[in-house]
């Protein structure tokens, strides 16, 4: 199965007539999507045609190129990023039209107030060792979470977990989401959740939420801060989402 990187590099090779390597802003788990994503490439030859148009014609419908930005110097799509924002969408009723963009959890009576209480704790702590699959593989487990919010639709059956940090650990967001669902079901208390944040003690069971429903939704650089193009990712402009 070809990766997104391979598909884009193959398309660039076809159009530019020369092998072209791209460098993305990060890696995600299989089945995780990105509604905003940056990559950089060094293209020596100038071109007079619309490369965005040609790339979109060559790529499958699941990949969209929105814009090409000429950059000065040697900026790096991955290492220059200062903040990354992720969104996790889940719904609690079966709906085939949501299956490709949100995860189904048939738990219609989640305690949203308790879940929100746990979410509000996240910016108060910086060490996320307890919520990482392989913490010892990292140089350190510090993540400066500057924003964490929970949104819900008017019916209370669609939920969105939004989190912003300078970095994330392996499966960290999916593990946090899994714990939030446990809290919503009454299978974990908020104080127990905070205990792991305080002590950095890894829970006996780490069950990440499903990958479908997780989106890399915004990447920020010192020299570039663009709003996501996908309307799905704009709760401030989308009246469907109510912040708890």
- Which are the catalytic amino acids? 29
Task: Tell me the β-bridge partners of 214.
Answer: 88
Annotate 102-125 with b (16+ C-beta within 10 A) or e (fewer): bbbbeeeebebebbbbbbeebbeb
Residue 169 makes CB contacts below 8 A (sequence gap 6+) with 128, 131, 132, 135, 138, 141, 143
Locate 124 and state its tokens.
């108060």
Give CA–CA dist 147/120, Å, rounded. 9
Q: Dihedral sign, CA of 28, 91, 175, 204? A: negative
Give CA–CA dist 184/167, Å, rounded. 26
**CB contact at 8 A, 235 and 241:** yes
Radius of gyration of the chain (CA): 19
Alpha helices in the chain (DSSP H): 4-16, 51-58, 112-119, 172-184, 190-199
Give CA–CA dist 179/190, Å, rounded. 10
Q: Calculate the CA 168 to chain-centre distance.
A: 10
């Amino acid at each position: 199965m070809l990766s997104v990187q391979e598909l884009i590099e193959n398309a660039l090779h076809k159009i530019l007539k020369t092998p072209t390597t791209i460098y993305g802003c990060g890696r995600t788990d299989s089945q995780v999507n990105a509604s905003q994503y940056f990559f950089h490439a060094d293209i020596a030859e100038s071109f007079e045609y619309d490369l965005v148009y040609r790339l979109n014609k060559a790529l499958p419908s699941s990949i969209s190129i929105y814009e090409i930005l000429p950059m000065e110097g040697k900026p790096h799509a991955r290492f220059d990023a200062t903040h990354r924002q992720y969104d996790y969408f889940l719904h609690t009723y079966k709906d085939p039209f949501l299956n490709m963009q949100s995860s189904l959890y048939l738990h219609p009576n989640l305690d949203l107030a308790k879940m929100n209480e746990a979410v509000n704790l996240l910016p108060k702590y910086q060490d996320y060792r307890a919520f990482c699959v392989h913490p010892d593989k990292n140089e350190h487990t510090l993540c400066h979470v500057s924003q964490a919010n929970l949104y819900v639709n008017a019916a209370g059956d669609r939920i969105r977990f939004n989190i912003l940090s300078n970095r994330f650990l392996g499966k960290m967001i999916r593990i946090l989401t899994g714990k939030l669902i446990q809290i919503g079901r009454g299978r974990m208390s908020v104080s127990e959740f905070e205990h792991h944040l305080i002590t950095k003690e890894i829970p006996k069971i780490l069950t990440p939420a499903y990958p479908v429903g997780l989106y890399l939704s915004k990447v920020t650089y010192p020299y570039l801060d663009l709003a996501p193009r996908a309307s799905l990712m704009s709760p401030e402009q989308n009246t469907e989402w109510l912040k708890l």
